[in-house]
Amino acid sequence: MQTRPGESPDTSIPAPVLRWEHFPHEADMGVRGYGATLGEAFAAAATAMTAIVTDPAVIEAREHFTFDCADPDPELLLYDFLNVLVLEMAVEGRLFGRFRVRVEAGNLSAEAWGERVERLRHQPAVEIKGATFTQLAVWQTEQGPWVAQCVLDI
């Protein structure tokens, strides 16, 4: 996984309408994203992860980052992607409110927009320790949309 900060955020790109949800798992929390493409499902899962910490709508697109990784297994690709975001959140103190993800032939290319945590404005609820292999799953439904999910250690 490679992380590269962008020079300036591109706020002209409209935020996609994402469908995501949380599901409980003992002391942890599951995230599930849905999308017409695998990339959209990954972006929705990342948004669900952010929503555990704070409302994604209050995060301003002040910084732009790109992330790349490769794995032929889409589940491991989701695991890697979410964990690189967790690393940025924990080590660099960033939050991301918008994502654009492309997945093709085992290669993930993602963009994320966000900013550094402002405790009073963002009021972070929890600290995410990492994505886990628990209930890690990626599949395409019979109707066509993709689903990407896993349990996060919080």
Domain residue limits, the chain: 2-6+19-153
Q: Which residues contact 14 (CB under 8 A, 6 or more apart)?
A: none
**What is the value of pTM for the model shown?**
0.86
Q: Which residue has the higher pLDDT, 152 or 6?
A: 152
pLDDT at 98: 96
Q: Of 62 and 26, which is predicted with more confidence?
A: 62
Per-residue pLDDT, averaged over 16-24, amounts to 70
Q: Is 86 left (phi over 0), alpha (psi -120 to 50) or beta?
A: alpha
pLDDT category at 12 given cuts 50, 70, 90 is low
- The pLDDT tens digits of the residues spanning 72-130 come to 999 999 999 999 999 999 999 999 999 999 999 999 999 999 999 999 999 999 999 99
Contact of 20 with 45, CB cutoff 8 Å = yes
More confident residue, 6 or 37: 37
CB neighbourhood size of 141 (10 A): 9
pLDDT at 3: 46
Fold of 2-6+19-153: Archease, Possible Chaperone; Chain: A; domain 1 (3.55.10)
Q: What is the pLDDT of residue 6?
A: 55
Q: What is the residue-averaged pLDDT of the chain?
A: 89
